[in-house]
Amino acid sequence: MTAQGLAAPYTAFRDVGAHAPLDYRPLEHALDTRPGLHAAVLDAFRPGRSLCETGPAEADAVLEGLNSRWPAVRCHALLILEGVRLSRARRERFTAGLTRLCREDPDATVREVAAGVARRTGR
């Protein structure tokens, strides 16, 4: 198992052909099993990387990613939500999660990514 393989379903690789709905649980389970891969997965999700496209039907799964125990998942969710059209209720959830992650996240990388998303989105 490699970090590249773990990250692939959450990058633009996912957008080629048919794919299952976005689900962070397999990634979280793999990281629980192999936590040493976390830094490399986080690197695969850094700003500027080509991440997957998501639709409105996947918004709740991505919003749940803001609460993941893994910083890589929180960063991925932040970056994905930055470009997703959200209903008013989901946008409010995103804004609340973004504010919380900017101020309170225990991981400096997540705080940095959240601050960048907040700047770019005007939140």
Written as one letter, the residue type at 19 is H
Q: Where are the domains of the chain?
A: 3-121
- Tell me which DSSP letter residue 11 carries: B
pTM for the full model? Answer: 0.92
Which residues of the chain carry a pLDDT beneath 70?
A: 1, 14-18
pLDDT score recorded for residue 18: 65
HEC sequence for 17-50: CCCCCCCCHHHHHHHHHCHHHHHHHHHHCCCCCC
Determine the Cα–Cα distance for residues 79 and 97; give it in Å rounded to an integer.
13
Q: Which residues pair with 32 in a beta bridge?
A: none
The token pair at 93 is 């959830």
For residue 66, give the DSSP letter. T
Two tokens, residue 61: 């799964």
Instruction: Enumerate the β-bridge partners of residue 51.
Output: 11
> How confident is the model at residue 12, as a pLDDT?
74
Please report the pLDDT score of residue 15 as a whole number.
Answer: 61
Asked whether 77 and 31 are in contact (CB, 8 A), the reply is: no
Per-residue pLDDT of 96-105, as tens digits, reads: 999 999 999 9
